[in-house]
Amino acid sequence: MTARHHQITVNGLAIHARIHGTGHPLLLHSGIFSRMDDWAPLLDHLDGFEVITYDAPGIGDSAPPPGPMSMRALAAVGTGVLDRLGIGTAHVLGASFGGAVAQQMARDCPDRVGRLVLASTSFGGLAMPGHPAALLGLAARANGRGPATPRAVMFRMSALIGWTSAHWLHRIPHPTLVLCGDDDRVTPLVNHRVIANRIPSARLHVAPGEGHLMLLESPHVAGPVISAFLHAAGEVRAA
Q: How far apart are CA 140 and CA 160, in angstroms?
A: 19
Q: How far apart are CA 170 and CA 203, in angstroms?
A: 13
DSSP string, 24-88: EEEEEE--TT--GGGGHHHHTT-TTEEEEEEPPTTSTTSPPPSS---HHHHHHHHHHHHHHTT--
Annotated catalytic residue within 30, 34, 62, 96: 96
Q: Are 96 and 211 in contact (CB under 8 A)?
A: no
- 96 belongs to the catalytic site: yes
| CA R_g for the chain | 16
Please give the positions annotated as active site: 96
